[in-house]
């Protein structure tokens, strides 16, 4: 059975993917005050989570920082992936444990996605892109070929990153930005062409 950690809107999207894959979800796990049912699925506290050896877990939280914190808390769990049946993945693309790929997303040859990443609706990850862990590529964002994205970075909706660019760790690319050059660690970039606006203050 699969459990989802995070009774959130993002969790509902993952729940829908798993239903389409005929993979039943046992419960949402959430330590905040939540209704007893969410999306028709029971909600339990993390103290009530006593998985069997074969039980799997996906962290269903959109925030990279929050996913990382939960992953530390739930270390030792068996993490699953969820890939929507309408997503297009090359046979040579790789998606690591805990990551999710939403409807209409495309991963082209030799694209590599790290652990606990989100490839959101309609995003395009072109050939030989390399994504670190806890990365979020938002709806309709496009990474052209050979783009590298560091751990914990977020490329927001509709952004475009041209071929060969490296985005550092903990960076944020604003919605609709067009990234023409490398982005340093921790930078927040916006606009067309993208320029540094501020610094991402979150530190692990």
**Residues recognised as catalytic:** 127
Q: Rounded to the nearest 5 degrees, what angle is found at the Cα of 115, between the Cα atoms of 147 and 142?
A: 30
Is residue 76 packed enough to be buried (19+ CB in 10 Å), middle (13-18) or exposed (0-12)? exposed
**Is residue 40 exposed (0-12), middle (13-18) or buried (19+ Cβ within 10 Å)?**
exposed
Q: Tell me how far the alpha carbon of residue 126 is from its chain's centroid.
A: 16
- Enumerate the β-bridge partners of residue 161: 143, 179
DSSP 31: S
Helix or strand holding residue 65 (H, E): helix 64-73
């Amino acid at each position: 059975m699969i459990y989802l950690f995070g009774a959130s809107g993002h969790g509902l999207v993952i729940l829908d993917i798993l239903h389409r894959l005929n993979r039943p979800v046992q419960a949402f796990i959430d330590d905040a005050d939540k209704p007893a049912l969410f999306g028709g699925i029971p909600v339990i506290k993390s103290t009530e989570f006593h998985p069997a050896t074969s039980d799997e877990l996906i962290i269903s939280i959109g925030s990279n920082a929050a996913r990382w914190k939960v992953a530390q808390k739930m270390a030792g769990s068996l993490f699953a992936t969820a890939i929507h049946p309408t997503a297009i993945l090359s046979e040579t693309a790789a998606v690591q444990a805990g990551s999710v790929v939403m409807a209409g997303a495309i991963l082209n040859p030799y694209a590599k996605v790290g652990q606990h990443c989100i490839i959101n609706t309609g995003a395009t990850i072109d050939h030989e892109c390399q994504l670190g862990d806890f990365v979020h590529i938002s709806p309709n964002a496009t990474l052209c070929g050979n783009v590298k994205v560091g751990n914990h970075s977020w490329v927001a909706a509709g952004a475009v990153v041209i071929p060969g660019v490296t985005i550092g760790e903990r960076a944020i690319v604003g919605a609709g930005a067009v990234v023409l050059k490398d982005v340093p660690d921790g930078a927040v970039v916006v606009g067309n062409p993208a320029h540094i606006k501020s610094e991402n203050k979150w530190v692990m």
